[in-house]
Amino acid sequence: MATFTSDFLIIGSGVAGLNSARNAALRGSVNLVTKKEDFESNTNYAQGGIASVLSNTDTFDSHIVDTLEAGAGLCHKKAVETIVTSGPEAIRELIQIGVEFTRDASGMLELGREGGHSVRRIVHSKDLTGREVERALLHRVRGLDNVNIFQFHFAIDLILDDNGRCWGAWVWDEKNRCAHAFLASVTLLCTGGCGLVYQHSTNPPIATGDGAAMGFRAGAPLGNLEFMQFHPTSFYCADTSRQPFLITEAVRGEGGILRSSDGTAFMEKHHPLKDLAPRDVVARAIDAETKKRGEPCALLDVSHFKPGFFRERFPNIYGYCLDRGVDPEKEPIPVIPAAHYMCGGVVTDLDAASSIPGCFIVGETACTGVHGANRLASNSILEALVFSDRALNRVAEEGMLEPPPPGLDLDWSFPRPKDTLESVLLVNCRQTLQKLMWDYVGIVRSDERLHLAHKRVKVLKEEIDGYFNAGHVNRDVLELRNLVQTADLIIHCAWQRKESRGLHYTLDYPTPIDPPADTILIKNQYGKPEIKSVPIPQD
């Protein structure tokens, strides 16, 4: 075991982690740990773009209203106002560091429109915006002398003192098969989402709920984990072993139409905005229509687009479809919903600070109050940029870069790692977890399904905890430990909400309840989830 010390420890290398590293490097030394290559993250898979008020036909009030309406009554208005009014400056900063957004013939930023937005306000880089933002941020961070990037290092748990202050994290070194203590005055959890809890997800394989699980084990409150956003349009493939490929909402923003196999456009039956309805509405509509007709998928029709427009606007999607034998300019794209984005997470304030002193949460891992019961399209990268900036400003204002105290307990208390565990046990456990979460805690839920899911996840959790406590420590075990923990927390939150609102739809409680409230969960003295409903701030 080795000890690494820095002013800042950043866990995760998506836009939240990289932007945090860029800002933290102005204030002190930085260690950034990431469990894969430094370029692998949910950000890389973000196709649509970044929402911001950048035209004279748009207003902050309009963007705020669109966000609040999508959030179905659960957004915290101050949090929404914070990211919206900070948006234009965040975009300008990205351009300054080299992000190349798509521009029109006159050189102005080309603005797209997605579901839930009343006007065009989405800046983008073709259909690979996330990859372009990450490219520019990573290039900038790699050039900083006081930032050290540790690839293939997996954060296990936060290091806390007797007063509950965070001083870094235990980190698993995958190459050398040992745990290290990464000490820091300030820790930023930027680990992304938890889409791999489900059988079908648009997320990369690294999205295993690490931050949510670590936050819970450390005693931080979590909120609104029942609100998993299912992206309505991932490319449907009969081979379920293939990772779903996201078809960005911007396709519908440009005029794409959802149809059943007989060519009927069905969204007008489900929402006044038709194909531009919020994601939760579209996902449930596709789910309902395919089940009613006994069809495996819906069809996204873009054949009416101007010739050549689709391949120019969405070259990555166009190429993927061709590789799968579908020419979007001649035939519809088969689509089906898939788990995409967690709107809940570790609860933070308006500066991304958690309840654990010294620990900030940024990006999809956080529950900032921005997304409410349903995230408005293309608000996620904006949220990560704005709150990572605010976190580092808070650190500077409060002078938080004090050294770790002497006598901090750094004894690795787990048994010596073992190599004897058969991988088939872990593969079976993961597949079982993902299928039961998809079947019982998916787009449509019920009390009976949640009860069955809780019983079965409890057994899986005991199995994985047993492997971990016996010393079977490797990346597969660590990821499964976090997956089953996060799945258990999602089920608890879903069970608590006795209504249907936004992304949470239950057959037993089909109508919303007023006044709206957050679901807040915390670990009790016995290590179990304890849940309560907290009214939404009226501000």
State the pLDDT at residue 130.
82
Comparing C-alpha atoms, which of 124, 137, 125, 131 is closest to residue 19? 137
Virtual CA dihedral for 429, 443, 364, 87, nearest 10 degrees?
160
Which residues, at least 6 apart from 498, have a Cβ–Cβ distance to it below 8 Å?
506, 508, 509, 513
Q: How many helices (H) and strands (E) does the chain have?
A: 13, 20
Topology of domain 3-227+343-398 in CATH is FAD/NAD(P)-binding domain (3.50.50)
Taking alpha carbons only, the member of 178, 181, 135, 172 closest to residue 151 is 172
What is the second-level CATH architecture of the domain 242-337?
Answer: Alpha-Beta Complex (3.90)
Q: Is 217 one of the annotated active-site residues of the chain?
A: no
| Residue 36 confidence (pLDDT) | 81
Same fold, 3-227+343-398 and 423-511: no
Could you say which of 22, 121, 131, 279 is catalytic?
279
Domain ranges of the chain: 3-227+343-398, 242-337, 423-511
Please tell me the distance from the alpha carbon of residue 490 to that of residue 134, in angstroms, as a whole number.
29
Phi first, then psi: what are they for 163, rounded to 5°? -95, 5
In SS3 terms, 259-327 reads as: ECCCCCECHHHCCCCHHHCCHHHHHHHHHHHHHHHCCCCEEEECCCCCCCHHHHHCHHHHHHHHHCCCC
pLDDT average per 10 residues of sequence, the chain (539 residues): 94 95 96 80 60 95 96 97 97 95 91 88 85 91 94 96 95 92 97 94 92 98 97 86 81 94 95 88 91 92 95 92 94 95 97 98 98 93 96 93 85 67 87 94 95 97 92 90 98 97 95 96 92 88
Q: How far apart, in whole angstroms, are the C-alpha atoms of residue 159 and residue 60?
A: 40
**Backbone torsions φ then ψ of 389, nearest 5 degrees:** -60, -45
pTM of the model: 0.91
Q: Which residues pair with 378 in a beta bridge?
A: none
What is the pLDDT at residue 192? 94
423-511 maps to which CATH number?
1.20.58.100
Strands 111-112 and 122-123: antiparallel
